[in-house]
Each structure stands twice: as C-alpha cells, then as structure tokens.
Amino acid sequence: MKALETLDIHLKNRALELLRLREQGQKIVGYYPGGYVPEEIILACGAVPVGLHRGGEHEPVLIAGAYLPRWYDTFIRSQIGFKVLGGDAVYDLAGLFVVPITDNNVRMLADAWEFYKLGGLFRFGVPHRKTERALKYYLDSITAFKEKMEEETGTSVTDEGLSEAIHLCNRERELFRKIALMRKSRSSSLKGSDFVKLLHASLWLDKNVMVETLDSLIGELEQQIPSPGGGPAVLLTGSTLAYGDSKIITLTEEAGGAVVMEHFAEGLRNYWDDVAKDGDPLEALADSYFQRRIAPAWFRPSREYRDFIIKLAQEFSVDGVIWYSLMYRDSYTVQSTLVPKLIREATGLSTLVIESDYDMEEVGPLRTRVETFIEMIKRKQGCSTRLF
Amino acid sequence: MFYSPLLKLCGWEDEQIIREKDRLDEAFNLLDLGPEEMKVAEARVLEGYDVDLLGVRKALGVWIGGMVDVVLSKREGKKLVYYSFPPLGGLSGVISVIGKGEILCVCPEFILDIALGAIFNRIDPILESGEQKALPPGRALCGLNKIRIGAITEGIIPVPDLLLSSSFYCDQGGQTDEWLREVYGIPWVVMDNVMDSPRDEFPRLASKRVSYLAAEMENGWAEAASILGCEPDEEHWAAYYKLYSKFNDGISKSNRSMKADPTPISQSNLQMVRFLRNGISYDRFPEALRAIETLVPELEERVRRGTGPLPKGSPRVCSFLIPQRDQSVAHLIEKAGIAVPVTFLSYDAYMAGMDSTCSTLSERNARVELMRGLYHSTWAVLHWTKQAVKDFELDGVLWTQPMHCRPMSGTGYLFKKAIEEELRVPVLSLEVDWYDNRIFSGESMRTKIETFGYLMAARKAKRGPFPKGD
C-alpha cells in the first residue's frame, strides 16, 4: 500500500528531521509510552513529543546489566541500554524524559535514569485507582507537567494552543479507531504487523504527517475489494510490544494466523477515546488520559483491564488470544496466571501465554509454540465445521 | 506432650502449655507437625538462635503461638483479616485492638515464614504451591506472596474475611490479594499513593502526597470498618498507640544497645524479635511485649559486661534485612567477623517520630509512613541508610539486595555507588531472597562475605574508626 511505503520514508527521514528541529531551537521531549503522558501539552509548547519505545534487541538489555539488576522488565532495562549505547536519534536528542510513575518497574527506570544522570527527567505521578481524589492527583500532575514544559521551552501554554493540539491528536485517534474497526471485518488487507507499525510510527512522527498518512491509508483500504479469508483471528495482548520487537507478531502471521487486534501499553490506550473539546482543556485531558483510559494490569483493582480484554476478544470475534509479556513485569506475570483462564471461561477461546527477554534464542521454541497454537485453532475450527 | 520441650525452649511456661493444650494439639495436628518435626525444630532453634537470651526464646515462642492462632482462627469463630507486608498506616493494629478476641488481624505469611520456615523448616511445599497456583517460579517473585497464596490454597491457613493492602509500594502484594479476591471472593481494601518524589525532596514531604495518602487511609479505615462492622474511635487508637509504643520503646532501647562494641546480639536474632510488631495479632501481643521487656535488660547486661557474638573491634556494617527463613546467611556474616548493628528497617523504627502539628490522625499516620522512607522513595531509603552509617560510625554496608522485591532489587546497584562515593565506606551488595532460600545458597556467598570481612578489618586497622577516612 502506498501510504505504508510513504510511512517508511517518513520513518527513515525522522532522525534527520529531529536533528534539524532541534537545531532550529525546538525541544525534543521523550516520554515513556503507556498512555499516561499527554502529548498535547508538549505540542502546545511548540516542542516535539517522541515516545521512547525501542525494544526487541538483546544488546541493550545486556548493557543495562551494568545499571540495573536483571530482575526488572526487559523493556525497562532496554530503555537504559538504548540510551547508554547511543546512536539512536530519538534517544540521543530527547533532552527531557517524561516518565509516568506507575508501577515498580517504571519507577526504577526513573530512579536509574536520574541516578546515572542519563538526561533530564520529569516524574509524572499516576495513581493506581480511579477515584475522585486520584483524578485530582492526576490533574495536579498535568499542571506540574505543563509548568515544567513552559519552563523548558519558555513558551506559555494557552487554552487556544492546547485546544488545537487536542484537536490534532483527536483527529489522529479517530483515524486509528476507524482503521482498527475496519479490521473487525477480517477482509481488510492491512496486516496486524502493518497496524502495529502505524502505532509505533505515531509515537515518533509529526502528528500532521501521521494524520495525512492514516487518511490516505483509509482511502486505499476503502478502495480495496474485500477479500475474506486469512487464518485464525488472533487478539494479541500483554505488557509491551515495543518498536523492534516484531517476533511474536511475525511468528503468528508466518504460522498462518491473522492478528486482528492488539492491546498493549503503547497501542490501543492512546486512540480508543477522544479528549473532550469543550470545558477546561487540562481537566479534559485528565478525564481522558486517566479517568476514561482503559486501566492497565497494575491498576487496583485490575478487573476493568481484564473485562476489556474479554470484550475486545468478543467484539473482534477472534479465534484465539496470545498473551505476550516481558520477563519480570510482575503485574503482568501474575495476571498471566489469571486472565487467560478468565478469557477461556468467558469465551471458550484458546489462549497462549508467551514471555520474552528479548533473546534471539527464544525464537525457535516460540515458533514451535505459536505454530502449534495456530494449528490447534485451525483443527478446532475444522472440527466445529464438521459437527455443525 | 511431644511439643513441650520445643515450647519450653521457646520460652513457654508449663502453665501456658497446659492452658493451650487443646489448641496446640489441634493446630499441630492440622499442620502435620509431630514428634519428629519437633525434634528438627529444637535442633534448628539451638543451632540458629541465641538461646542464652530468654527474650529471644520467648519471641520464638510468640511466633509459634501466632501460627497456632491463625491456623485455628476460623474454627474458633473469629473474623480474620490479613494485611500484607510491609504494613501501612496502623490500620491493622487498630483493627486488632477493636476486634480483641473476635477479630484476628495478622500478616500470615510473616508468621509462617518464621514459625513454619525458620523454626520448623517446612515452608518449601507452601512456596511450591504458591508457584503452581499463581506466582510462577523463575520470575523473581516474592516468597511472602507465594506463602500467602500457597498456605491459603492448601488449606494450611483459613480464607480470611478481609484483605488489606497498599496498591503502590509493591505491585506483587496488590496482585496477590487481587488474585485471592478473584478466586475466593474475599473483600479487599486497598490504600493508594504515588511514589513520584524527585531525588532531592526527602526529608521534605510534598503535601499532595501526604494528603492523598491520608485520604486513602481514611477511606481504607472506613471501608474496613463497614466490612467488619466496627469502627475505630479515639479510644481504640489510644489503646493501640499505648500498647505498640511500649513495644517500640523496647525496640528502640535494644536498637540503641547495638551501638555498643561488641554488639550484644546478632542482628538476625533482634530482627526476629522486632518483626513481632509486623505480624502478630493483638491477642498475642502482650507476650511479644514480655519478650522485648525480657530482652532489653539482657542486652543491657551484655553491654555492661562487654560481651556479644563477636569480639570487640569487629568491622561493623549496615544492611537492609537479614534473610530470616534460615540463619545460614546471618551466621556466615558473623563467622566472617562482621557485625550488623543496624539495618535500614531497624533504624527507621526510632527515627520517624510522630508529628504533633498534623490536623488529623490519618495525616499524622501518612506523615509517619512517608518519613520512614520505604513508602516515600528509593532516595528516602538511601537517606536513612547513609544516616545509619554515620550515626553508628560503621565500616561499611553489606546490602542484601533482594531479587524478588521489585521496589528494592535495584537499590543494590544504586546504593553501592552512592554510599561508596559519598561516605567512602565499602559496600558489598549480596543478591539474596529474604524469604526463600531454595534459589540461593548461603555457602555460595562465603568467599564474597569473607573477603569483604578481611577488607574491612584491614581498612579499620589502617584508618581507625569512622569517620576519619583513609
């Protein structure tokens, strides 16, 4: 698809573009993905938001071993590794790293980043329960973040500027939702890996470029003649699916499965809901980014998270669910012993739990497990056909 | 009675054994602890603990009594509340006060870790069960949570009526309780906060975090009260403070006695006594008080005589917590000639005083919890650790870096660098599991610990006592 080819070009050029923007005096602001840092605040200051979300490689994990013990989430350790290794424009150019303090792993990332002086850091406090006072706390965090950004950029955030940024980000969300929902039909020629690429790109590229790309992609998808088919539909969920961590989705597609929906920290949470355009913009951001945001596994309780996954599986009529989490991300490790069981009980679907430490040696055994899983679903489907 | 020798060794008197005979028979039967297990336990107590100190023996006895209480609680018609470690905000204590005789409010995994683990060496099957049910092995998950799940699912301890936990300090604790809630439908009260303090904040406390935590505690008390059908009033809180402050006084005195050279007691023994505050129910608490009140004069006497487990002049270090499941690591440290007069957890016990300027009880409790450091930030823990090194004029830090504890497992790396650079004392970071010794062996650390001991002894001989520097 042409839009995807254009996207590749934009991605390739982004490093130079960021360098140019910084030379022109624009601040590059890195943030930890997970859906709790409002990009709108960064945009309203005239700065450039970039999500630090590379993963999937073993070397940064090894390098991070000098800074943190291995008992932290692989993605968390990777962020330290990529920063220390250097050579990635996004990590090198981001002068400030905004970290939403959510669970123990993310908190330790912030601690290590600050302690080893890896760059400027802003801790964005996120409560773990949805209550009125938690919302107030989150709103306070937004206000503090706005002040920090104003101090960093020397630009005051106006309601007008914020509204414009909200409008732009909402447009991107709307387009992502539209594409995501098109995947329900299973006739879309957009592969799961392509959609994930779009999600990852949205954390790096200019918002206007993203909107343009998504818009033209929708046009192309609407033009295509529906071609029903494909293998078993899979919902992919878990802790983090980083840029560069393509193993699980590639293996699934190579095994004949079709990933029709995914729910990870840096994915769906960002586009599922819009920010309200009326009322106080900061309050609207807090309402959307915290109160209405689909709670992650580290929320207490995390039932909303589990119910949502079951709902997704049902709404997208998937044939199986793959739970993909990273080593030592405790919240998700514990949930992995409960959620797949709840999914099976609620939907009768097959589930597969996979864990990764970004190690190349995992690929062989993972391929066997994923192929077996897809094969099992195919047989189950064949069996159903014969019976009914 | 086959258990009498063990219980007497652990400070029980004949009269108490006879009085509790039926309960002991029933509990030991349920726990499948027979004559053989009692012999094993006797040997472990004699080998592992300073049994010359009656206070230590009595404390061991309280842990055994606490185990009996929790195992029998439902059979005795009590309401049962489990709180998680580390406890938050005095709520567990005040529930114990209100529910005297009717509600048993305990941290069961702590009781089992010491009673069934350290004393009876029977905790491994429970850990394995916890791993099979919810907390898979090989993921560096906390042994305390594995014990909680394993012991409940195996029917070793009853399913409680209420679970109390913090949602912010430890992800695993909250997840464990939520797992139990999902599986057993147990009501669950959670108290939240956000640990987003920047490095330079402590010892200042940001008002937004104090007020958020205070409001969460207030809410937690109200929720717990409505579930249990009883509400704490000022009298309850006063009774709680009175009883627990007596215990804390004893702990403060024993902590201060550790400033003596030689230290009068092994830190691992003192820690076992001190932790009674964190696990035992109110009904058993008077015995805990007697244990500490017996121990304090014993320690003072040792200080007067200048005796202790190690010779005078031994290198002295701070740690975080000594693995308690068995005493091998503690003994290894002592055999290497290293004394541990203070740990982060023992130091905070008397450094965080009550603030009389607070407007509400919950605000006061929130301030105390945050000032202790653990619930504040990594930097607050570092602050108090450095303070302990200075205050006790230590020769180094032997940091037990827990692989299973996500809030703390990174501290070994960070603190080694920070303390060595700022205080210029050596730091050895030992990777251990505080509650589960299946995955590491004390013996494997022998060379590291012994070398560290030689290093510090040589430095000490060269430079004289802290803080003159090299």
What is the C-alpha to C-alpha distance for residues A48 and A22, in angstroms, rounded to an integer?
A: 9
What is the C-alpha to C-alpha distance for residues B11 and B111, in angstroms, rounded to an integer?
A: 17
B77 in a domain, yes or no? yes
CB atoms within 10 A of CB B30: 15
**What is the pLDDT at residue B93?**
76
Q: What's the mean pLDDT in B112-125?
A: 96
The confidence band for B351, taking pLDDT boundaries of 50, 70 and 90, is low
Structure tokens at B376: 């504040």
What is the C-alpha to C-alpha distance for residues B345 and B384, in angstroms, rounded to an integer?
A: 9
The pLDDT averaged over each successive group of 10 residues in chain A (388 residues) is 95 96 97 96 98 97 96 97 96 97 96 97 97 97 98 96 97 97 86 96 97 97 78 95 96 95 91 94 97 91 91 95 95 90 94 95 95 95 53
ipTM of the assembly? 0.94
Answer yes or no: is pLDDT of B318 > 90.
Answer: yes
Find the domain containing B49 and state its range.
Answer: 4-236
Which of A328, A333, A342 to mutate: most B Cβ within 10 Å? A333
**What is the pLDDT at residue A320?**
97
Cβ within 8 Å of residue B359, ≥6 positions away: none
Q: Under a CB-based contact definition with an 8 Å cutoff, are residues A234 and A259 in contact?
A: yes
In three-state secondary structure terms, B104 is: strand
What is the C-alpha to C-alpha distance for residues B252 and B40, in angstroms, rounded to an integer?
A: 33
B347 in a domain, yes or no? no
**What is the pLDDT at residue A383?**
55
What is the C-alpha to C-alpha distance for residues A151 and A145, in angstroms, rounded to an integer?
A: 10
Q: Across all residues in chain B, what is the average pLDDT?
A: 91
What is the C-alpha to C-alpha distance for residues A372 and B244, in angstroms, rounded to an integer?
A: 59
Residue of B nearest to A70 (CA): B403
B95 in a domain, yes or no? yes
What is the C-alpha to C-alpha distance for residues A167 and A40, in angstroms, rounded to an integer?
A: 9
Contact between chains at B190 and A137 (C-beta distance less than 8 A): no
Which residues in chain A touch residue B171, judged by CB atoms under 8 angstroms apart? 103-105, 298, 330-331
**Entry field: residues in chain A:** 388
Amino acid residing at B47: E
Residue A161 to residues A49, A124, A280, B304, Cα–Cα distance (Å): 15, 21, 13, 73
Write out pLDDT tens, residues B172-202. Answer: 999 999 999 999 999 999 999 999 999 999 9
Contact between chains at A140 and B170 (C-beta distance less than 8 A): no
Q: Under a CB-based contact definition with an 8 Å cutoff, are residues B261 and B312 in contact?
A: yes
Residue of B nearest to A72 (CA): B406
Q: Is B181 on the interface with A (CB under 8 A)?
A: yes
Cβ within 8 Å of residue B237, ≥6 positions away: B90, B94, B97, B361
Nearest-CB residue to B194 (from A125, A298, A301) = A125
Is the model more confident about A137 or about B86? A137
Residues B140-176 as b or e (16 or more Cβ within 10 Å = b): bbbbbbbbbbbbbbeebbbebbbbbbbbbbbbbbbbb
**What is the pLDDT at residue A224?**
84
Which residues in chain B touch residue A335, judged by CB atoms under 8 angstroms apart? 175
Nearest-CB residue to B136 (from A128, A133, A333) = A333
Write out pLDDT tens, residues A281-307. Answer: 999 999 999 999 998 988 988 889 999
Nearest-CB residue to A331 (from B171, B182, B196) = B171
B87 in a domain, yes or no? yes
- DSSP secondary structure code for residue A226 in this structure: P
Q: Quote helix, strand, coil % in chain B, to nearest 5.
A: 55, 10, 35
Which residues in chain A touch residue B421, judged by CB atoms under 8 angstroms apart? none
Contact between chains at B407 and A104 (C-beta distance less than 8 A): yes
What is the C-alpha to C-alpha distance for residues B10 and A151, in angstroms, rounded to an integer?
A: 63
Residue showing tokens 């009904």 = B283
- Integer-rounded Cα Rg, in Å, for chain A is 20
Q: Under a CB-based contact definition with an 8 Å cutoff, are residues A300 and B174 in contact?
A: yes
* Residue B130, min C-alpha distance to chain A (Å): 11
B215 in a domain, yes or no? yes
Residue showing tokens 């929902």 = A181
Give the helix/strand (H/E) hosting B397.
strand B396-402
Contact between chains at B167 and A129 (C-beta distance less than 8 A): yes
pTM: 0.95
Contact between chains at A333 and B407 (C-beta distance less than 8 A): no
Answer yes or no: is pLDDT of B16 > 80.
Answer: yes
Query: Nearest-CA neighbor of B429 among B316, B320, B303?
Result: B320
Query: Nearest-CA neighbor of B263 among B50, B13, B431, B40?
Result: B50
The confidence band for B303, taking pLDDT boundaries of 50, 70 and 90, is very high
Does the bond joining B35 to the residue before it have cis omega, within 30 degrees of 0?
no
Q: What's the mean pLDDT in B161-168?
A: 91
Which of B88, B144, B196, B408 to mutate: most A Cβ within 10 Å? B196
Show which of residues 51-80 on chain A sit within 8 Å of chain B, judged by CB atoms. Answer: 67-69, 71-72
The confidence band for B382, taking pLDDT boundaries of 50, 70 and 90, is very high
CB atoms within 10 A of CB B321: 21
Which residues in chain A touch residue B190, judged by CB atoms under 8 angstroms apart? 129, 300-301
**Which domains are delineated in chain A?**
1-388 (3.40.50.11900)
Which residues in chain A touch residue B166, judged by CB atoms under 8 angstroms apart? none
Residue of A nearest to B166 (CA): A300
* Residue B12, min C-alpha distance to chain A (Å): 41
Is the model more confident about B156 or about B434? B156
**What is the pLDDT at residue B353?**
52
What is the C-alpha to C-alpha distance for residues B69 and B257, in angstroms, rounded to an integer?
A: 32
Q: Is A265 on the interface with B (CB under 8 A)?
A: no
**What is the pLDDT at residue B311?**
96
Residue of A nearest to B405 (CA): A71
Contact between chains at B178 and A115 (C-beta distance less than 8 A): no
Domain count, chain B: 1
Structure tokens at B265: 């007691």
B181 in a domain, yes or no? yes
Which of B88, B153, B175 to mutate: most A Cβ within 10 Å? B175
Nearest-CB residue to B406 (from A105, A127, A300) = A105
Query: Nearest-CA neighbor of A254 among A193, A195, A199, A190?
Result: A193
Contact between chains at A112 and B414 (C-beta distance less than 8 A): yes
* Greatest mean pLDDT among A81-95, B336-350, B432-446, B455-469: A81-95
Residue showing tokens 């023994």 = B269
Cβ within 8 Å of residue B464, ≥6 positions away: none
